[in-house]
Structure 1
Amino acid sequence: MSQASLSTANVSLQVLPSVPPDDVYPVVDRVIEMIAASGVTYEVGPMETTMEGELDTLLDLVKKAQELCIEAGAGSVMSIVKIHYKPKGVTIHEKVGKYRG
């Protein structure tokens, strides 16, 4: 098993499905539901969803998100992916916890 698969990473994903404007949110909602069902820690933001877990698992979810958008009727999907990886791990809480009440 690679070191990357053992450490906690953060991956932020924004999907931009090529669908009629009224269908964008329903497609994005399906992606968020898939992420939620995966069991990884995640937070939905106004522009992207940030996930926390093993890097390999998170990258698999990114791939599944592309496929889900196409299955939902998108002709194509563009995604913006941000990855924060450290060998000893990184959490969402260590980045934003101090800003929460």
Structure 2
Amino acid sequence: MANTLLSIQILPQTPGGESSLPYVDRAIAVIKASGVPYRVAPLETTMEGELGELLQIVQRMNDAMTEMGCPSVISQIKVYHNPKNGASMDRLLEKYPDGK
């Protein structure tokens, strides 16, 4: 059972001031490749898993931005950690099945 939800908004400083969308797409691809459950929302992406594993994914996301040529990256994260009872996106959202 997962014990953590981690939401991240990654804000790369792009080379030459170009659009950040391809960089954000790459960051989301890092999450997808990790195999953890995740949900993309308009302003952040939420992952579900073990705290250490999710923090390693954040590290890989930042590394991917550097590899793409970004001189700096801001990663704003929110963490919900519940080792006793676990953490689940589905459980937290069950009252809102249609997202409204």
Question: Which position in structure 2 is the counterpart of 1:94?
Answer: 91
Unpaired stretches in structure 1, ≥5 consecutive residues: 1-5
Question: Which position in structure 2 is the counterpart of 1:46?
Answer: 42
Q: Counting helix residues as a fraction of each chain, which structure ranks higher?
A: 1
- Map residues 49-68 of structure 1 onto 2, 5 A cutoff: 49-68=45-64
Q: Secondary structure at the match of 2:94?
A: helix
Give the superposition deviation at 1:7: 4.7
- Runs of at least 4 residues off by over 6 Å: none
Give the superposition deviation at 1:8: 2.0
Question: Which position in structure 1 is the counterpart of 2:23?
Answer: 27
Question: Which position in structure 2 is the counterpart of 1:3?
Answer: none
CA distance in structure 1 between the aligned counterparts of 2:91 and 2:44, rounded to whole angstroms: 18
Unpaired stretches in structure 2, ≥5 consecutive residues: none
CA distance in structure 1 between the aligned counterparts of 2:6 and 2:92, rounded to whole angstroms: 13
Question: Which position in structure 1 is the counterpart of 2:3?
Answer: 8
Q: How many residues align?
A: 95
Question: TM-score scaled by structure 1?
Answer: 0.88
Question: Percent identity of the aligned residues?
Answer: 40
| CA deviation string 1:56-97 (max 9, x = no partner) | 100100111111111111110001010000122110011112
CA distance in structure 1 between the aligned counterparts of 2:34 and 2:8, rounded to whole angstroms: 15
Give the superposition deviation at 1:98: 1.7
